[in-house]
Amino acid sequence: METQKIKQTVKERYGKAAETSNGGTSCCCATGSVQSLSFAAEHGLYSKEELSLIPKTALTLSKGCANPVGFANIKSGEVVVDFGCGAGIDVILATHKAGIDGKVVGVDFTPQMIEKAKLSVAEAKLDERKIEFINAELNNTTLPDNFADVIISNCVINLCPDKEDVYREAFRILKPGGRLSISDIVYSEKINPLLEARFKASWAGCVGGTIAECCYFEIVRKTGFNQIEVVARHTLPEKELEEMVTCPGSEFTPAPAKEDIDTVQGKVVSIKFTAIKLRTN
């Protein structure tokens, strides 16, 4: 699919997920049920304390693969931007870290998710905090240069066909010395081009736009970031992979052929990493 067609497809899928009562499956983070809340706590995605801060709307529609706030080292008074904020789970957690003097901006190109995120903020009783939501594509956020101290993102950039443009935008809006805290999905190695093309043909969930880890970090470095540090990596087991390939839910995203899913078993990895926009002086 062409870039604009991919973006429209992803927007429609996640928009429909936001409009449903249960949001479909919760992908590999799986924070939308009692059982998966325990999973999230046990596997270090979100602590029980963090989960207690998150209202039902944000939990139900969570589509992430980790907890970028957990390793972003957000300080009181900082400005945080969430690339692909969805229903607001990480915006809420970042707001608690940034405190009353900080500001958090959630960017998402799906208007239905923006509305859910605003509802989540109201449910969390954070209306008086400095929180802003922008309905925009991640490669064109409309935010000013040198705006943010931290950019977080949770299993979203893999969905973008224009990853280099997204990271250039992140570099532009970060202050000198600012940092990335990213959770995303990559391949542990390069896969067969024909198999990759089949996943891309339907933009199959979170593997439709997945690329090899080496290529991913080449993009991050090319756009100007330094001191890339992988905090953790998690190879998706069979069940998580099956959910990922149809994210945000099998009712919205057609499943790839079973033999294709089996071929990438053990090669699809959730990574958590940080990087820095170095000061020039």
Domains, the chain: 3-276 (3.40.50.150)
Burial of 92 (0-12, 13-18, 19+ CB in 10 A): buried
Structure tokens at 189: 């190695």
pLDDT band at 231 (very low <50, low <70, confident <90, very high): very high
Residue type, 108: D
CA gap 171, 165 in Å, rounded: 10
pLDDT > 70: percent of the chain: 91
Structure tokens at 259: 């033999």
Check residue 30 and give its pLDDT.
Answer: 42
In terms of pLDDT, which residue wins out, 1 or 96? 96
> Does 13 score more than 80 pLDDT?
yes
Q: Strand 226-235 vs strand 268-276: parallel, antiparallel, or unpaired?
A: antiparallel
> Does 209 score more than 90 pLDDT?
yes
Residue reference for tokens 């709307």: 57
Indicate if the alpha-carbon torsion angle 98, 103, 108, 110 is positive or negative: positive
Half-sphere exposure of 163 (CA within 13 A, CB side): 23
Omega into 248 within 30° of 0, i.e. cis? yes
Structure tokens at 166: 């997204």
Mean pLDDT of the 53-66 span: 87
Can you list the positions of beta strands (E) in 97-207?
103-108, 131-135, 148-154, 174-187
> Does 27 score more than 60 pLDDT?
no
CA gap 49, 52 in Å, rounded: 5
Structure tokens at 65: 């693969």
Residue reference for tokens 């949001």: 23
- Confirm if 106 and 135 have CB atoms less than 8 A apart: no
> Does 29 score more than 60 pLDDT?
no
Residue type, 90: D
Paired strand residues for 191: none
Mean pLDDT of the 200-221 span: 96
Check residue 130 and give its pLDDT.
Answer: 97
pLDDT band at 25 (very low <50, low <70, confident <90, very high): very low
pLDDT > 90: percent of the chain: 83
> Does 18 score more than 70 pLDDT?
yes
